[in-house]
Structure 1
Amino acid sequence: APALAGATRAAVPPRPVDEDADAVIVFTSGTTSRPRAVVHTRSSLAAGMATVAGLVRPEPGRPVLGGTFFVLVPSLASGAPVALPARSPRVLARQLRRLGPQATYLTPPQLRAALAEGARFSGRVWTGSAPASAGLLTRVKEAGAEEAWGVYALTELFPAAAVEQADKAAHDGTGDLVGAPLPGVVARTGTSGELLLTGPAARHRYLGEAPDPWVATGDRARLDSGRIVLEGRAKDMVLRDAENIYPGLYEPALHVPGVELALLVGVPAGDGDERLVAVVQPGRGAARPALRAALEKPLARMGAARPDAVLFAEVPLSGRSRKPDRAATARLAARHLAVGGRR
């Protein structure tokens, strides 16, 4: 700090630091469940930022573009200048071109909006806070990125896993591959199939609750050769014809070229059963007849989980990270079915 140069007062050594002391309370977004107050300690924050630094490897003097705490602090500590992303997609595209950042962190909605404005990328691009399809990561690499990574993270443990576009695109099984647990992160599944995580970066507790080393993610998952494959939120299960259908198993297959977003939601049928609707958001300029044809194969492979109807519409988003809003999407699908629509 230039204003302190030449100060005559003697420096006072800092007090000893308790690394296990509470450092910050962060509320979850509330888009997947009721908001909860997450308590992190100094040590859990430090572990999370150290993981980010090891993953992103910011180099001194080269710009990093990103607006989250876990991007800002490790980058600045590594000597890299940080630019906050412009809110306007058009300005953001110009910002990317001017800065040529070594690393960029944007949410999936920000990426889609920037790509729609013809943005070009450089270096390594990271995205998270909401689901990122293999198709979106592929488009980012086609727009100039050397690498395009999807990051799986929670308010309770950031970051937990990461996957590069090439590995994600090569995954041909069901579910959403989010990558291997990052160093220090331990993953297992509970008896119900829920993904449980722990590690040095895990939150200490929820405010007002007892500490618990394991974070219950609310996501169903399986471990495939040490990699995490998400199978959808447990609470998003749709019950149709006495069969449990987990949308997260099948939604990645709906992201064919030309599809921006796709969700499977249940709509009450009035007899205790549900109808399954695929809500598909076409990309800019995508022709719907061509999309219908492209979707036929993945729909046919769903077997008993094939939706009762396919609706082309814009998927509602909510929360600070602009995640797809399933409840609002289900209401949209219900209105569509009420007027007798099918496609």
Structure 2
Amino acid sequence: MTTPVDTQAFIASVMEGLTGPGGRFEMVAEDVLGSSMPVMKNRDKSLGDVLAASLDYGSRDYLVTKDRRLSYLEHGFAAAALAQALHDKYSVRKDDRVAILAANTPEWVMSFWAAQALGAIAVGFNSWWVAREVEYGVEHTTPTVVIADAKRAKLLASLNIDVPVLTMEEDLPRLIEEYAGSELPRTAVDEDDPAVILYTSGTSGRPKGAVHTHRNVLAVIDYHRYSDCLAAAFTGKPTDGGPSDLRYLLTSPLFHIASLHNLVVPRLATGSAVIIHEGAFDVDKVLSLVEQEKVTNWGAVPTMANRLLEHGDLGKYDLTSLTSFALASAPSSPAFQERLRTTLPFAQYALVDSYGLTESCTGVSVATPPELAAFPGTLGRPIIGVSVEIRDPFGVPLPEGEEGEICVRSAYVMLGYWNDETATAAAIDPDRWLRTGDFGVLEDGRLRLTGRRSDLILRGGENVYPVEIEQCLDEHPEVLESIVVGFDSPDLGQEVAAVVVVRSEDAITEEELRDFASERLAYFKVPAKWQITTTPLPRNATGKAIRAKVVI
């Protein structure tokens, strides 16, 4: 006679063994920037140390594309050579900024790790930015050097900036060959020293640079190590910390936390392979790569998942290797998730969803496949080390079941915004609680999102704040005022629409406005719908335009 297993008790026992006293992921309370919070006791202290340790994975695949394959040793040797070249030829030192402006490629990853070896700060510029956005990024972070692919290097050459630009196609291979055999530089850093700057759309019109420290990114690495170990324990696999045979598909831009902090970086620490899809998202090319490289894990934005649903002919690909399919970067409805489970065989028992933001470095909460099935609309419980409170407009914590602003505290939360003390103070309180600006409710410890940041438009996983577009349109001499809103899109989730008030009915055409915006904004910010009018915008008693009353 067998004894039935108490699943919840088993899970609790495994977690306690991993995170309790003496466990590999033992959690302890420590001071972090003046606030006591849970951290992992046995942790790395610098990203450079993680890079050095990765050489032990030897000939295992680290970065794979359709036609290239870099082992851990090959990547490590290339990063060491590039780091030494940046140090010797371009005087890159600790805390200097190394900007990266490129589409996804192994050289992007290599450049990131070379910066970490020097204790420099890697700055991930949005590769879809247009000239004036790039110019702002360069002025804002004052990098010592910019590493770019050929397409973006051409754009940089048209700008009035005095910063060396290294191309990934020509300069990097030359420098790596010249400095081949260099020892990996080792630079002493403090855990709370800046390591990365990633940009997020700004509510005030300018992109803001979220500063992530070594502590932040290392904590994300340990979260993924812990998650891998937990999953292995549940399936009876070894949990000794040996290299992982999982193979992760990268389809989202590296200037996002989903791809950089939560894929490329932690996988260097676990010995896993990262399979990079290069170029625009194409269902057939992506699924061919999944089949060819036996991909096991894929984190996709809902727009990509929707295109899978619409493809109609997935049966010709062998997708049996896929065991984890995560939705990230944008919210998805329970109905959409059910369509995925019904239509995509690999999503039936593998679909997970999460909630996070650039400022939090990783997911705030994650919903497992059983949770999504049992509690439609949930975003799961907070991940290890994260505290979540729902607060009222005065900052007072609310009880479970009541809606309010989602506030988060953890070792993952960013240091602040680069060179913007005002925005940092508005986002992070003195006790290190991050005000997300999103609204939600806790139900039996699980988070459910009820509203996004007030005016945010989520287009295909990209955050778009209307005020940036409005400020751009208002620069046109024929425009008196404008207001930008989002509208539903079956493919992208939301798209951008603009109501533009002009001086006279024949002052300007839609095409002229679109061209004007396209020269100044990344393509995903350019409105897809336009309404040109001479009627003033609706306003409240204080003169503020009422976005909710705009119909387009």
Structure 1 position 15, deviation (Å): 4.2
The answer to whether the aligner puts 1:180 opposite 2:399 as a matched pair is no
In 1, are the aligned partners of 2:352 and 2:372 still within 8 Å (CA)?
no
* Aligned twin of 1:194: 405
- Rate the CA distance shift 1:152–1:66 in 2: closer, same or farther, 3 A: same
Cα offsets for 1:128-175 (capped at 9, x unmatched): 111122333334444222411112111011121111344234336xxx
CA RMSD between the two structures: 4.1
- 1:41 & 1:314 partners in 2: Cα distance? 32
- Rate the CA distance shift 1:55–1:200 in 2: closer, same or farther, 3 A: same
- Rate the CA distance shift 1:114–1:11 in 2: closer, same or farther, 3 A: same
TM alignment of 1:5-44, pairs within 5 A = 14-30=186-202, 35-44=207-216
- 2:286 & 2:184 partners in 1: Cα distance? 43
Structure 1 position 189, deviation (Å): 1.7
* Aligned twin of 2:284: 90
TM alignment of 1:48-127, pairs within 5 A = 48-55=220-227, 60-67=244-251, 68-69=259-260, 70-85=262-277, 87-117=281-311, 118-119=313-314, 120=319, 122-127=322-327
- Rate the CA distance shift 1:33–1:188 in 2: closer, same or farther, 3 A: farther
- Rate the CA distance shift 1:82–1:32 in 2: closer, same or farther, 3 A: farther
* Aligned twin of 2:450: 231
* Aligned twin of 1:290: none
- Rate the CA distance shift 1:317–1:182 in 2: closer, same or farther, 3 A: farther
In 1, are the aligned partners of 2:487 and 2:495 still within 8 Å (CA)?
no
- Rate the CA distance shift 1:218–1:46 in 2: closer, same or farther, 3 A: same
* Aligned twin of 2:434: 215
Structure 1 alignment gaps of length 5 or more: 238-277, 284-312, 335-341
In 2, are the aligned partners of 1:28 and 1:37 still within 8 Å (CA)?
yes
In 2, are the aligned partners of 1:179 and 1:228 still within 8 Å (CA)?
yes
- Rate the CA distance shift 1:12–1:82 in 2: closer, same or farther, 3 A: closer
Name the SS of the counterpart of 2:285 in structure 1.
helix
The answer to whether the aligner puts 1:154 opposite 2:154 as a matched pair is no
In 2, are the aligned partners of 1:52 and 1:159 still within 8 Å (CA)?
no
* Aligned twin of 2:415: 204
- 2:302 & 2:412 partners in 1: Cα distance? 24
- Which has the larger share of helix? 2
State the 4+ residue runs in structure 1 displaced beyond 6 angstroms.
9-13, 317-320, 329-332
Structure 1 position 127, deviation (Å): 1.8
- 1:232 & 1:44 partners in 2: Cα distance? 26
- Rate the CA distance shift 1:314–1:222 in 2: closer, same or farther, 3 A: closer
Structure 1 position 115, deviation (Å): 3.1
Name the SS of the counterpart of 1:19 in structure 2.
coil
In 2, are the aligned partners of 1:137 and 1:149 still within 8 Å (CA)?
no
- Which has the larger share of strand? 1
In 2, are the aligned partners of 1:134 and 1:165 still within 8 Å (CA)?
no
Name the SS of the counterpart of 1:217 in structure 2.
strand
